[in-house]
């Protein structure tokens, strides 16, 4: 499947290519010259995605790069609890849903026929709209023979933006009772993330799972960091996440093993067999869990991790670059 790479134009200049081999330290000490989007995902929930994403962001903060953090887990957004941003801008998010003008409607049923989501139906002379099923595609509007359908905004969540120190922070929050996370994620990325050719580091904190909200988050990332725990649950769901990120989307992947030492060796064995690099191991320590419980970032609770997370970024940038240099259609790190 062809992949569209969101790779900044500046990266393919001669200077950009030449600098790749010597990037290991240059990444941190000088400005990035392209957009580097790293998604932090997991498959299984609660493995430490937000912990890794937040600490990665904090370790890079103040290193001179433009840094963006997008919390794309719009059903359960938690990163703000740790990054404590000042949210200065708010915007309603949602979609266009049909509104039928009864004066012009002939109850012909064409709208119901073209709607693939059963979000609009005709009973007798009356047209009923179910906004929670609507995907806002506009097909009913286009197909109505009498022009009886207009569209109105139906709010499904909010987007919020602000600063957490040097980090530009954005999050989406799905309203209670709303089903569709994807439009919230899509609009969050459009609103907050810099464009393809802007030089910046963008960290995307993904939702758990492997279905459409995860795909929407990962779609234009350069690299996916998968956080797992060394248990049979962690392994099972890591496999699922690799299927999405590497096999479906063709993105380079790397693994962080959180709570290392907790369970068994299954995750290590799997990563070795698949050639997936394990780029960080965070040990299973009660002290780490306790700091997390109180909202204290790991690199503050245990400052030695600041260096570990900076090194992590350097490794990820190299893996992303290696992934790009490879033929994109083949996908993934071999």
For other proteins, which residue of 87, 122, 240, 322 counts as binding (CB under 8 A)?
A: 240
Interacting stretch for other proteins, rule CB under 8 A, among 97-105, 173-181, 192-200, 322-330?
Answer: 173-181
Count residues binding other proteins (CB under 8 A): 64
Q: State in angstroms the smallest separation of the CB of 33 from other proteins.
A: 27
Select from 150, 264, 285, 330 the one that contacts other proteins (CB under 8 A): 264
| Minimum distance, C-beta of residue 15 to other proteins, in the bound complex (Å) | 29
> Is residue 189 near other proteins by the rule CB under 8 A?
no
**Closer to other proteins by Cβ: residue 46 or 194:** 46
3-state secondary structure the chain: CCCCCCCCHHHHCHHHHHHCCCHHHHHHHCCCCCEEEEEEECCCCCCCHHHHHHHHHHHHCCCCCCEEEEECCCCCCCHHHHHCCEEEEEEEEEEEEEEECCCCCCCCCHHHHHCCCCCEEEECCEEEECCCCCCCCCHHHHHCCCCCEEEEEEEEEEEEEEEECCEEEEEEEECCCCCCCHHHHHHHHHHHCCCCCCCEEEEEECCCCCCHHHHHHHCCCCEEEEEECCCHHHHHHHHHHHHHHHHHCCCCEEEEEEEECCCCCHHHHHHHHHCCCEEEEEECCHHHHHHHHCCCCHHHHCCHHHHHHHHHHHHHHHHHHHHHHCCHHHCCCC
Residues 31-70 that bind other proteins (CB under 8 A): 42-47, 50
Judged by CB under 8 A, the residue of 9, 142, 152, 272 near other proteins is 142
User: Per CB under 8 A, does 160 bind other proteins?
Assistant: no
Which of 117, 128, 197, 334: binder of other proteins (CB under 8 A)? 117
Q: Which of 139, 217, 315, 321 binds other proteins (CB under 8 A)?
A: 139
Determine whether 46 is exposed, middle or buried from the number of CB atoms within 10 Å of its CB (0-12, 13-18, 19+): middle
Q: Does 138 engage in binding with other proteins (CB under 8 A)? A: yes
- Residue 19 or 78: the one with the smaller Cβ distance to other proteins is 78
For position 152 contacting other proteins by CB under 8 A, the verdict is no
Is residue 215 close enough to count as binding other proteins by CB under 8 A? yes
Q: Does 85 interact with other proteins (rule: CB under 8 A)?
A: no
User: Of the candidates 249, 256, 276, 333, which one interacts with other proteins according to CB under 8 A?
Assistant: 249
Identify which of residues 95 and 321 has a Cβ nearer to other proteins in the complex: 95
- How far apart, in whole angstroms, are the C-alpha atoms of residue 124 and residue 293? 56
Nearest CB to other proteins, comparing residues 21 and 247: 247
| Residue 114 near other proteins by CB under 8 A | yes
- Cβ atoms < 10 Å from Cβ of 168: 20
Q: Which stretch binds other proteins (CB under 8 A): 26-34, 97-105, 162-170, 288-296?
A: 288-296
Residues near other proteins (CB under 8 A) are: 1, 4, 42-47, 50, 73-76, 78, 81-82, 114, 116-117, 135-139, 142-143, 174, 176-181, 207-215, 219, 231-233, 236-237, 240, 243-244, 247-249, 262-264, 286, 289-290, 292-295
């Amino acid at each position: 499947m062809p992949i569209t790479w969101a790779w900044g134009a500046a990266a393919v200049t001669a200077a950009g290519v030449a600098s790749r081999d010597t990037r290991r330290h240059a990444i941190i000490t000088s400005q990035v010259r392209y957009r580097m989007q790293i998604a932090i995902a997991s498959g299984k929930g609660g493995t430490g995605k937000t912990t890794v994403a937040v600490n990665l962001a904090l370790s890079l903060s103040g290193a001179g790069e433009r840094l963006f953090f997008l919390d794309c887990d719009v059903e359960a957004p938690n990163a703000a609890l740790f990054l404590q941003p000042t949210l200065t801008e708010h915007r309603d998010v949602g979609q266009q849903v049909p509104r039928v003008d009864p004066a012009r409607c002939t109850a012909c049923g064409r709208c119901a026929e073209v709607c693939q989501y059963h979000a609009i139906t005709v009973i007798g002379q009356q047209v009923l709209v179910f906004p929670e099923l609507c995907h806002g595609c506009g097909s009913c509007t286009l197909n109505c023979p009498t022009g009886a359908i207009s569209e109105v905004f139906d709010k499904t969540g909010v987007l919020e933006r602000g600063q957490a120190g040097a980090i530009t922070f954005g999050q989406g929050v799905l309203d209670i009772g709303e089903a569709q996370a994807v439009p919230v994620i899509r609009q969050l990325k459009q609103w907050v993330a810099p464009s393809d050719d802007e030089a910046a580091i963008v960290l995307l904190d993904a939702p758990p799972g492997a279905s459409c909200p995860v795909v929407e988050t990962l779609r234009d990332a350069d690299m996916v960091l998968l956080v797992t725990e060394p248990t049979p649950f962690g392994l099972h769901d890591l496999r699922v996440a690799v299927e999405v990120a590497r096999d479906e989307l063709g993105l380079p992947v790397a693994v962080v093993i959180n709570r290392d030492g907790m369970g068994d060796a299954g995750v290590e064995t799997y990563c070795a067999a698949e050639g997936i690099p394990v780029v960080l191991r965070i040990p299973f320590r009660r002290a780490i869990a306790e700091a997390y419980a109180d909202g204290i970032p790991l690199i503050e609770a245990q400052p030695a991790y600041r260096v570990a997370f900076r090194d992590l970024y350097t490794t990820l940038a190299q893996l992303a670059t290696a992934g790009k240099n490879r033929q994109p259609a083949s996908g993934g790190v071999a």
